[in-house]
Amino acid sequence: MAFSSNQSGGPMADMNVTPLVDVMLVLLIIFMITAPVMTQRIMIDLPQKTTVKPDKEPPPPINLAINPSGQLFWNGRPFSQDMFELELQIESRKDPQAMLQIKADPSTQYQVLADVMGSAKNIGMSKIGFEMTDH
């Protein structure tokens, strides 16, 4: 409230709206800056609900273990990288596809794991998962 006097000699009874206008302008600027950021879309490929029950029973998962030295084990048997890719090509053509469950030792180099996942994805495996270790 302003304390200046008018012609009648009493205090001025008008509300000072300058702080309110300042706050509104700041909020307007904030909304103008954040509105374009909120309109950008991120494309996510979510699974869709199906009402049809599968005719075939899903095959058992493929357990792929990777030890710290980078050696691959397909369901407990040692495999080379070339044999792994050949076996994946066979598995990727099956319908329904088996899930590839990768269990890597915590001390395995990341590059080995990235190569295995990249090979599986490039060959056409669509179901890739990770098995947790108890470390």
Whether pLDDT at 9 is above 90? no
User: Residue 124's domain is classified under what CATH number?
Assistant: 3.30.420.270
Tens of pLDDT, residue by residue over 62-84, are 999 999 998 999 999 998 888 98
Other Cβ atoms less than 10 A from the Cβ of 103: the count is 16
Does 17 map to a domain?
no
Tens of pLDDT, residue by residue over 78-129, are 988 889 899 999 988 988 888 999 999 888 898 998 999 999 999 989 888 8
Does 36 map to a domain?
no
Domain span at residue 115 reads: 62-130
Does 15 map to a domain?
no
Number of domains making up the chain:
1
Does 95 map to a domain?
yes
Round to whole Å and give the CA distance between 45 and 115.
Answer: 23
